[in-house]
Structure 1
């Protein structure tokens, strides 16, 4: 019986007992039974052998008495024939590395399951690089064996006592103490029983637990990661022969944990076939599903045949691999447990064929298998769709034609087929050319396309269509038709994707060294999104004549006609980088280069206009070249336009010279300094939209080259100007944008009532923070203040306020509150800390004058008020600047409640807060005025000082029509007293 089982598995298959008797001449080296052994786990009790036969005992910590990779051959020690892997054994080899092997091979490996050694079989309860210890806490390592029980339930037991990983310590305070048994039952089952402990935190190792047949491909083993969710108690089936269980002191098996391996039973032929085969197709792909046999087989063999061929029944004991099989006269479409399958091109499917599928029930997870039920197998047929067109390529491309070719399709003759080719100017194929789609015979493999446009991208795809169904579309091919010279161009680089340049554009890249510059399409720093062109030095010397970084335009017919100009937008990242416009005699590095103009760039995009009305050379390509600047920096170019020179050209340049609180100074230059005959007209708007011709303009005489704008309120403006060449001929607009310097009227107060940094305030290089932290809390109506932590190297800081004014009298004063507090709780004031200067600017921050210094003033733990006269600043705007310096300590310097007010008016006319109340504040829609005196009028200003609303006797003011933000409300009472308060609209 044992020999029969062995024969039955030799080819890697399981056979019936009858088949094995017939096939006794098979090569038994191909046996594979171990992988079919089943596994079970239980919790038992570890019982050491009583009076066993000792194989070896450790007698020293090193030398001959030390157990390490020792192998012990025990001949004829098993009193029964132990059946394993299709044969029987009475002799074993026992290894100090924690496993048993059968046969003549003896090795020093610590991983016998994945080893290439020629064992006749392996029993591996705990294979690892193990070694003994000697006299640790009174115990030493040993290996013993014994036979326990009575026939027919005898067990041959090998026991390893007090072993450890070789790499772990032999110290009495930190060591592994591993005890385990391999119990071989005479019915062929195998048990591993464990009693593994650890003292302290010894080193972990990876152990190999399982069984192996004659090769490392025939195995079953266990794996775990050695953590809370993956350990000895919940190991899983290994996915490779080298899988193991991580064994560390935290996750060892519980005492008595038992692993049991049971040999597979003999196979029987399935008694029924599957049913209800359903075949469907998507293109050439065929999908199938069926109802499993009942009782269910564990596998199914699926054969596929072309119409007109017949399968040959499978042979018991043979496992068939997927693919063409001559012995079956079929294509093996599937072998496995699933009741669904898919056949596609990778499974040998061709298009437009009728296929018949035949399915057999199989029992295989047992010995002497697989066994096939060859009686009345399940069959069904289907015709699939054609395979698609493949290998579309274009050739012989001209400006108005090209050829398309493709590979002959791998299709059968089940149904008549046509090939459909589509050509379009878009990848969605919504705009197809005249004649497309082209319907061709299936024997056609090419098509000539004519009557198309130059400099254009075309997209091509194909499919095959039968009378039953059609293939999917092929992958899309694309091409550009050849370029032809042009007279104008307008390129913003936005119609292309990736890094390639637009069609007909080129680049010349040379260098004075091995580092080659780059010109690339990019989305970085565009002027008009999404794309622009970047010029990068990439290590080349940009000042060297041998370095050429030139973007080359399409060929132009009129470069030397004297009638056109180039407009381009560009910027740089490195100082000294220049843009050079050149004329080229070709689009390769050997072309002659004529320099037209060299333009210094700025770090912001500017539009540059270059007139070629004086060029008389032979160039027919425009080049945009980068010169100078740091190699590892960029130049960016966008919106390139080659166009006729207007009869009334726009200004050559427009320059913003200066900005004030209510205006700006702007100057301009004309092309060739040619003044327009009828002067200029301009307009100032608040939108970036060219003005309509019906707008009201301001006229300037010819010869004027600048203008001073004034009387503007705080805000952002657009200045538009154009030349008047005659009463009817006007140039295109030229524009520049500017923002006036923020100001606010006096009296003024800033209490930091919101979390938004106040408009017009400027933080210095070491900025202050708006908020609250530690002892830096606000003073008055809000916990928010402006503070900075000063310590160590962060020892300075500054900020300045919005410009306030103009001050109408010489009786104004500045006041604010400050506090310094220790960084650490309880945030007490420091004795020595530093100083801060109070500075005033009357020229909007250009120059500053110190009006006071607070130096190491003793703190009180609370805010201290500081007051400074502004008597010398009548009629002026003033900004306040605080410059702080630390000399010692780690502290927060805090500021709050900045105020500029007229002391005389306050003394006579300002209303006490006790006599008037403005609420709610903040508000969502309106505020109420609650006053002991009758209200005469009110004025509401925005943060820029503009009067936006006023009224007479009211007790409620609506803010519903205004945006969220900060406003200033001034209330005048019947007794001429005034009250000013900030109001927040949420």
Structure 2
């Protein structure tokens, strides 16, 4: 009874997806022969009968000594000649090698006698078929059973089967003579169809009954471990319910007593059916030229009747069944590729055409690079270079074997894209600087081109980058210095990172020499990105774009004129995106003939990026200015309406009022400069006044948000607190309310952290020391700061101290974990870290800002003709004396007095006694002059008295 567990097409589709992973492995290993084919074999499973061999050729038998030791264990692989040619993986074989560990191999190189995992073993055999691949052995004369390995031929030509049998084998290697489980299995190779059967007997105990369990490899392997087709089941699944393996290491679990996963049922048969059209193998190329190469391969057996097709591309994306071939109807096993581009990596694939409609799968990629010829212009962003001790194609990396400098392709915060190059040489003179040799350029002496690139150093100071040439591209000692480039910037910013070098007039570089870069022995760390060898422009971009005045819907800008001054003026492009315009980008503003203009029609509280280019003629434009300069419109505050003052009687309060837009807040201030309001709301009641007093009122709306990495990506920390943190710009007045930190210590649970706000000059503007929780993995803390930050640039928020109970703070050190800038639109931009290559400590900043209208003056006016009855009565009843006085003044009656205030003539309170308990008050500290003594009584009445201090 046949039972199909997997459909051929379904398995093939999954295999195709898994094969793409294997392709990456094959390319990484540099293998051109790892052409996956066994993955194309179909699989089916059935239940029949296990038919043991009754004659045939016994190749190895467990001896009597094996009863107490490891019978048939690690015996030498057994070579066998087959009675017919068998096609495996597209090649015909007449010989195979049998391993006592449950598998066979093909090819001149066999597995070792110690090989136990044939499908994931990286050995060089051509392929393997594994029925029970693991460490195995047999036994002799236990329970009347003895193990052996034998072969036989059954059936008649052309439908014979070559059978390899492992009889009475233990399912795992063991030496016990009291607990012995015996089972048998076969590999059956079928003539003509080239189908493979693996047939199992379920086995039984020859002695004992203790459970035996483990895993084994079942399936096929091609020339490498990237080419596999195997089975998998976990211990929780029946052995007979296996699924397609997902890696060369996939195994099937078994147990001799437990029903799950159990052992193979008697007669369980795995059948592997080859594809009807095999693809070629062993792709190779001759030595490429600058524009061509010859590709060769080994034709499969049988030879495809319609020949082969070739596909090649500069992209690593593999073709599929629908991809149109680059070359078709190739009758031989090689082809010449021509008209290729020099210094380029090509990926080449071949497939068989077995008929007009039947085609094999494409081979895996053969990766070949054409030779590099001299070029007149060049650009690289280093994206195609392999990370590590490599440089791009057509470059030479010259590094000393003794005390060398560093020269690598790096992913650490490049200027653009994902990669750049990194150079460093120790300041010790005995160290040898490494040399980065550029591709060969054929116009070094023409005087028409220059070298342009972006660079930075990692620590403040001055680094010297040397430009020169080598007369031998493989010998760093042939370096000749042309000139030095001084680098002081530590960040990629606003064009300050771009350097240009033009070979001086009169200098002649020898024929065949190549331009090169190296560092001086100055101990500086350099990063280089976006490198060009390009024609010197005749039309130059302006520089130094600045903002002269911003409103809620406009930005006024000015810039330095280009030299020479462009005849047709300037063109401007602006956007809320910092994506640089290209030569084909349409400008936003044209025909600007001066070096200043105003951009209007903008959105309030929005960050804009601005580029300018020169227009030297009707058709000639410069490049756009370097890096979009960033400017921000200010907010659009709500307007005030119906601002109303009030009159009051001396010693009484006044109620002022104002109206504003819905949702806005009204703020009342003591003067026009103090930042903190006295109160908020539509009305404001003054304190008791004795003179006309001015107040100020405004309306505002607030905005709040978060900036920076919200939560850590990394789990590792750093202990440094030497001014480590972030650099940011405040686009308007704002408040940093909280920041998140994650302190770490193996055993401590509490600590303190100090965080400071500093301006661009390094002066400390605010500081906070707060208690924090600590844990081994980094405890979450939202640290309250409430730092007020005026609008400005290049602020630093840094950690400056920690208690000894904190070991580290979580930080980000992998370039993939962070990406500057972090922008809270219209409020602030976190643009860099204080130490390049790291995101330090301060996560998830909570930031708020207030958009406020100009303050308007509102007046509380004293009504001089107003005198309340109660006040007049009290004034007539109460006497203060002597008047004038020297130091002490007396009050005739304080029985019902609640408080006493002493005010100057403007009404400003300079002394207040909240509880009046004595008739005399010492005012000796007052200066000579006129004062108002104001008594407030428990019934709310007020008595005011003018007194003179002598």
Greater Rg, structure 1 or structure 2? 1
TM-score, normalising length: structure 2: 0.40
TM-score, normalised with respect to structure 1: 0.39
